[in-house]
Amino acid sequence: MKKYIVCLAAVALALQSCKDFEEINVDPNNPAIVPVQMLLPPIISGGVGTMVASGTRAGQYVQHLAYPGGTSESDGRYNLTGANWREEWNGAVRLVKDINQMKVLAEQANQPQYLALAHINKVYILSLVTDAYGDIPYDEAGMGNVDGFEFATFQKQEEVYQRMLADLETANGLLANLPSGSSISRDILYNGDLQKWRKFANSLKVRILMRQSAKADVAQQVAAIFNDANRYPVFTDVTDAATLVYNNSSDFYRWYIQNPFSDGSGVDFSDNARVSVVMMDLLKKGADPRLTVYAAPTRNSFLANANDPAKPLEYRGQATGLSAAEQEAFYASSGFGEADFSVIGRRIRQDNRAFLMSYAELLLLKAEAIQRNMGVTGEVESVYKQAVNASFDKWKQVGSQTHAQNPFISDSQREAYWENAANHYQPANGLRMIAEQYFMDSFLNGFEGWASWRRTGIPEIKPGPSVLAQIPVRYVYSDNEQNNPSLMEWVEQHMGGKMPDHNVKVWFQP
């Protein structure tokens, strides 16, 4: 009996020791459940990273940039397959999976402010995806880890837009009716300013409404936002805009040069990302001060000017979509070489900001709505001028740095621009002028510039002389996704059984 009691005691002690051991080995820095605020920074930065990366691919399609022949030729000449867009699809799905978890945690903790931010971020990320791919899963996006949802159901783009608008309406309501003392932490976009998140939600709603305005009557909804600032606050100055500021010590803006070259230029003249002829011509046409912000002088003119300041700096755009042979032939016929074209400018290479949605963009959409008689109050000429000035205001002087050290747009440059009567708003050409300004303001936001061009057809862009296809109007579903039974069924039922290529228009295009 005594032996039996001893054995029981030993077992009890062992069980207690195991329990103590398990408690000791719980890592407080690696909790089983992630606090909701910890999900916010990677969701924001991941969404912005998706947008910024669009500068190189979608930015080529819409001709913000042009790569010389022989470099990234598959993109510039449109030799494209589903493999080209694999990560653009997969990355977004991973982010939405985290957003779904953020929603669950916010609801469990009764934190409506985080639920609102989850809605806004989901809309922002999937708006990029649907604008590029067309029909996508929205309701079931990012739910592949849930039983029964391994293959998310696709939805028509027009339905996706309606779902996004509803989620933004929900977010606006949640943020308008937060309990007293509500706050958020780890907000790398607005530093905890919930009113600015609300303005972003409603401004983003305008973007989505106007995106579909060639195919749906959205006038009443657009007017309701612009004409009721209390119910629908939107951006009212440059500081409201959705602008992610990187720290540039461990987290870098894509175009930032960490170790500038010793030539003093502040740019990478060997970079293949050259400013396109289309962008360059628009900037030069109005003597636009954004020219020296967006573009660097050619390497040859920079070196010549360094030796003799009397020699002028030159800015030259790169022709688009050339093959390697066509590029060499162009060099031979023109007398130019690779050092005679402008790469991305010094200011951008030193900058640490990514523009998700600018104040200028919102004002340009407002100007368009007024011009199109959509019931929005205001004078289109005034709103247009405010929009252009807002785009200039993104590039103010940095500290005491000179224009040569870090190009900026000064008050005198702004005044000189408006002294040119050709830059004044002309109602007869209003929609063209608005679209051209939209194109210029969205520089390096390839998704937005490309989406605007597909909707408006402005500015006029032409493919290279021997490209392999028309200018792409959609991303192709990734090669991995094309094996998804849900997508295959959707294509069979809604797309005539043929997987769309990059020349099949998405729904919002007229």
Residue 259 maps to a domain: no
Residues 6+ apart with CB under 8 A from 200: 120, 190, 235, 240, 242, 356, 357
Residue 457 maps to a domain: yes
Mean pLDDT of the chain: 92
Quick one: average pLDDT of 37-53? 96
What's residue 28's pLDDT? 52
Sign of CA dihedral 361, 257, 395, 319: negative
- Give burial (CB, 10 Å; 0-12/13-18/19+) of 62: buried
Residue 303 maps to a domain: no
pLDDT at 324 over 70: yes
Residue tagged 């971020």 (tokens)? 121
DSSP collapsed to 3 states, 251-278: CCCCCCCCCCCCCCCCCCCCCCCEEEHH
pLDDT at 271 over 50: yes
What's residue 302's pLDDT? 98
Q: Decide: 326 and 69 in contact? Cβ < 8 Å.
A: yes
**Which of 146, 135, 136, 132 is closest to 103 using CA atoms?**
146
Domain count, the chain: 1
Residue 355, H or E segment: strand 353-357
What's residue 277's pLDDT? 97
Pairing, β 242-245 against β 65-66 = unpaired
Per-residue pLDDT reduced to its tens digit, 366-412: 999 999 999 999 999 999 999 999 999 999 999 999 999 999 999 99
pLDDT at 81 over 70: yes
> What is the CB neighbour count within 10 angstroms for residue 318?
28
Residue 299 maps to a domain: no
Quick one: average pLDDT of 259-279? 94
pLDDT at 31 over 80: no
- In this prediction, residue 5 has a pLDDT band, given cuts at 50, 70 and 90, of very low
Q: Decide: 266 and 350 in contact? Cβ < 8 Å.
A: yes
Per-residue pLDDT reduced to its tens digit, 407-444: 999 999 999 999 999 999 999 999 999 999 999 999 99
> Whole-angstrom Cα distance, residue 111 to residue 308?
63
What's residue 428's pLDDT? 97
Both structure tokens of 77 = 């000449």
- In this prediction, residue 14 has a pLDDT band, given cuts at 50, 70 and 90, of very low
Residue 260 maps to a domain: no
Three-point CA angle 17, 22, 25, nearest 5°: 125
Higher per-residue confidence, 87 vs 316:
316
Residue 321 maps to a domain: no
Q: Report the largest interatomic distance among the alpha carbons of the chain, rounded to a whole angstrom.
A: 108
What's residue 4's pLDDT? 43
Distance of CA 67 to the CA centre of its chain: 20
> Whole-angstrom Cα distance, residue 29 to residue 31?
6
Per-residue pLDDT reduced to its tens digit, 117-140: 999 999 999 999 999 999 999 999
What's residue 21's pLDDT? 43
pLDDT at 18 over 80: no
Per-residue pLDDT reduced to its tens digit, 230-244: 999 999 999 999 999
Percent pLDDT > 70 in the chain is 93
What's residue 94's pLDDT? 94
Residue 412: domain span: 36-254+350-494
pLDDT at 24 over 70: no
- In this prediction, residue 19 has a pLDDT band, given cuts at 50, 70 and 90, of very low
What's residue 145's pLDDT? 74
Per-residue pLDDT reduced to its tens digit, 138-192: 999 998 777 666 789 999 999 999 999 999 999 999 999 999 999 999 999 999 9
Residue 212 maps to a domain: yes
**Buried b vs exposed e over 466-495: b needs ≥16 C-beta within 10 Å?**
ebeeebbbbbbbbeebeebebbeebbeeee
- In this prediction, residue 27 has a pLDDT band, given cuts at 50, 70 and 90, of low
Q: Decide: 38 and 114 in contact? Cβ < 8 Å.
A: no
DSSP collapsed to 3 states, 53-119: HCCCCHHHHCCCEECCCCCCHHHHCCCCCHHHHHHHHHHHHHHHHHHHHHHHHHHHCCCHHHHHHHH
What's residue 249's pLDDT? 83
What's residue 381's pLDDT? 98
**Which of 207, 202, 209, 255 is closest to 233 using CA atoms?**
202
pLDDT at 314 over 50: yes
Helix axes 219-226, 359-371, angle to 10 degrees: 130
pLDDT at 20 over 60: no
What's residue 7's pLDDT? 46
Higher per-residue confidence, 495 vs 27:
495
Higher per-residue confidence, 344 vs 146:
344
DSSP collapsed to 3 states, 363-412: HHHHHHHHHCCCCCCCCHHHHHHHHHHHHHHCCCCCCCCCCCCCCCCCHH
- In this prediction, residue 8 has a pLDDT band, given cuts at 50, 70 and 90, of very low
Quick one: average pLDDT of 442-456? 98
Helix axes 112-133, 86-108, angle to 10 degrees: 160
Domain of 104: which CATH number? 1.25.40.390
> Whole-angstrom Cα distance, residue 186 to residue 198?
17
Percent pLDDT > 90 in the chain is 84
Quick one: average pLDDT of 88-100? 94
In the chain, the amino acid numbered 414 is R
Both structure tokens of 160 = 């996706």
- Phi and psi, residue 212, nearest 5°: -95, 10
